[in-house]
Amino acid sequence: MQLNTARVLLTGASGGLGQALARQLVQQGAQVLLAGRDAAKLQALQTQLGDAASVCVADLTQAQGVAALTQAAQAFKVNVLINNAGVSAFGLLHQQTWPTVEDVLQTNLLAPMRLTQALLPYLKALPHAAVVNIGSAFGSLPFAGFVAYSSAKAGLRGFSQSLRRELAHSQIHVLHVAPRAIDTKLNSPSVNALNRALGNASDSPETVANAIVAALQDKHSELHLGLPERLFAWLNGVAPGLIDRGLAGKLATIQHHAQDQAQAQNIQP
């Protein structure tokens, strides 16, 4: 995929990974439509990026938000859709409210499916197009304390692979990305403390953005960041019982940090 002629719709552009991606895409010569809910953050980024960027404010959990973004994307003449917007919710399932679980599924899975579906007829008519779905290592290595998030990201992995197979004879390239932890505001202080306690590595948004841009340029289908995470994801596929036992040994640590998170949110145990 040539990025110097690309026109990209980037959701979650106001977030940590989104801002790094927007900068690197523009450096490669792409025009970027920055999408998110936080108008002030999007405007500030657009000011830094200049003529190469435009802004569309929309809430992806709302049907009218998806419709507005679909319309703006076609007016912008996008040929690359990057489904990057996401929310996380660390905590034990029985301590989470149903609206929280629904929001995680809606934002991370249903919204990217809906936006992609709305843009597909338009993208299919173009000579070159791409759909990039930003998933997570938890989509292949589902984790205790992240039940809703892991379920959504596993769903996004399934969506990406089935869509790629459905579009096999089209000119639309589908890239699924599974980063491990990234240093952004998505992770609460309790999640950062958990990652430190478990020895989980965290990448900078710039490192992840750089790998995504390269994978898009080279037309890779899958990008999974981190060697240990890739090995554990593979092991989870062939021998999930081993991962069950390994994670059971870490459950007390996860529960301890989930308790901290619940206290910070005033949730009763």
Ligand X SMILES: NC(=O)c1ccc[n+]([C@@H]2O[C@H](COP(=O)([O-])OP(=O)(O)OC[C@H]3O[C@@H](n4cnc5c(N)ncnc54)[C@H](OP(=O)(O)O)[C@@H]3O)[C@@H](O)[C@H]2O)c1
**Which residues have a catalytic role annotated?**
149
Q: Tell the smallest beta-carbon distance from residue 225 to ligand X (Å).
A: 8
> Measuring CA to CA, how many Å separate 10 from each of 55, 70, 75, 159, 247?
10, 12, 15, 18, 34
Q: Binding residue for ligand X (CB under 6 A) from 1, 6, 8, 12?
A: 12
Interface pick for ligand X out of 24, 46, 187, 261 (rule CB under 6 A): 187
Q: Is the Cβ of residue 136 or residue 190 nearer to ligand X in the bound state?
A: 136
Q: CA 230 from chain center: how many Å? A: 17
Residue 37 binds ligand X, judged by CB under 6 A: yes
> Could you tell me which residues are beta bridge partners of residue 129?
172
Q: Does residue 140 bind ligand X (CB under 6 A)?
A: no
Among 3, 6, 9, 15, binds ligand X (CB under 6 A): 15
167-176: string of b/e by CB count within 10 Å (b at 16+)?
beeeebbbbb
Q: From the list 78, 109, 134, 172, which residue makes contact with ligand X (rule: CB under 6 A)?
A: 134
Terminal C-alpha separation, the chain: 50
Concatenating the DSSP letter of every residue in 83-134 gives E-------S-GGGS-HHHHHHHHIIIIIHHHHHHHHHHHHHHTSSSEEEEEE
For residue 46, which of 59, 31, 60 has the smallest C-alpha distance? 31
**Is residue 14 at the binding interface for ligand X, with CB under 6 A as the rule?**
yes
Smallest distance, ligand X to C-beta of residue 219, A = 21
Site string for ligand X, 88-127 (x = CB under 6 A): -------------------x--------------------
Binding status of residue 260 toward ligand X by CB under 6 A: no
Q: How far is the CB of 111 from ligand X (least distance, A)?
A: 7
In 3-state terms the chain splits into helix, strand, coil percentages (rounded to 5) of 55, 15, 30
Helix (H) or strand (E) holding 182: strand 181-182
Residue 222 interacting with ligand X (CB under 6 A)? no
User: By the criterion CB under 6 A, which residues form the site for ligand X?
Assistant: 11-18, 36-38, 41, 59-61, 84-87, 107, 134, 136, 179, 181-182, 184-187
